[in-house]
Structure 1
Amino acid sequence: MSFVTVSNVFQSYGRRSIIERVNLQADQGEFLSIVGASGCGKSTFLRLLLAQERPSRGEIRIAGATPAREPGLDRGIVFQRYSVFPHLTVRENIVAGESLRLGWGRFFGADRSAARSRADDTLARIGLDHVADHYPATLSGGMQQRLAIGQALAAKPRVLLLDEPFGALDPGTRLSMHDFLQDLRAETGMTVFMVTHDLEEAFKLGDRVLVFDKPRWDPHDPSRYGATITYDFDARNGGIPFQTLKEETHVFQPT
């Protein structure tokens, strides 16, 4: 049984169709990279997986559970723009990420000391141990994004959703974050969905690479049709298609 099942999902805002007929099955622990042109529904799809939005049609199930009505602790997300707690120090942000697993419980005594030690290990891995006692406002944008990624990973969600998480990082830091993400994924068995515009990154990190595109197009009404998964590549097998889903592109012709 698939861990994540997406069944005939459509999403539209009013008359504007964003995605349509999206079907997908993913196993637990798989890493799925998502690529495609800007505006083709990639981030919308992540919000649906998060349960931040509910689909217009169809359903998404995690581990066979009924479709979620709102975000839960089993799903974590890192957006394109860093988002951390400004009133907490860098170390406290990582501890807060771990505490999410307790339903925002707090650590006390020996448990708190252990949590702070784990946070320091995480900060060393992402290159922020030297600013552990600083506040996010004192960090550069790239450092804040590293912190946001570390915080999300510290919570060890069952499904991790990444929306262009490495775009603001310099090449060296980007590579170290790739290693950190792959190591933590191996340790936790989390399932990962990552939106990226970097094809090399998509195939490097992903077990599968999903391509979102619009197979139907109406030049007189560009919002008439939504995007769907047109290709599903097996990145573990030299890019051989895991499943080819592309339909013949249809341009609407008025009668």
Structure 2
Amino acid sequence: MVSFRAASADAMAALTDQVGGVAEASASAVAGDLFSAARTLRAEASLRRVVTDQSVPAAARSGLIGDLFTGKVDAATVALLRDAAGRRWTRTGDLADALEQLGVVAAVRSVGLQAGTLVDELFAVRQLVTGNSDLRNALSDPVRSAADKGALVDTLLAGKVLPATVQLVKQALSGSYRTVVAALEDYERTAAQVQGEGVATVHVARPLSEADQQRLGSALTRQYGRPVHLNVVVDPAVLGGVRVEIGDDVIDGTVLSRLDDARRKIAG
């Protein structure tokens, strides 16, 4: 996940609270507008420098961004952009990164109580892209236009997943992350975080029953002090047991891991 420091972290926290107050009915439009504003700032270096230059009065920075976007985006987005431009940012590029993350938060807001489904769908798309080299290459091909890639996403997903999922997958193609897969993984975490959850990727040899998932989820919730959303990956190479990845932590209780431990003890 994009990490903000010092003043940028403070600004991001305040702006995230504001996005949390956006009406569900308009949240999808606000998300799209924030993504568009982030693209504009990344493409216009001079604008980016001016609206993050602390030697320029905050009112002037807010006024400039307001004049640029008023009438072109939702009024709620203009208010957010004016506020964002008037704040302090640690790095010049932080404002654009923050607007993209705020767009993800707004997209999550747009689905209401279906946020858990959104996390599941983003994970499923990430797994699809990871496991299909032709699709991965098509989505990352610099020769293909953004419109062409977006049409491919529509063909694959439209009508099969939440509109917010399609919106976020298309945003993942913007090139602001190292890869599409990295973008989708970050969006998953943000979507879960909006609900106050962490995300755990669980590797198992066979699908877990609902009861097993509930037990594992409860155990992780107790351990980490907050609800944990499970993304389950069925991988025959696991052989047996469970491998859990949550943040930087890895809990490896697989048969393969135990065999490796046994080998090291014998060799030692």
Q: What TM-score, normalized to structure 2?
A: 0.28
- Identify the structure with bigger relative contact order (alpha carbons < 8 Å, sequence gap 6+): 1
Q: What TM-score, normalized to structure 1?
A: 0.29
Choose 1 or 2 for highest CA Rg.
2
Point out the structure with the larger helix share.
2
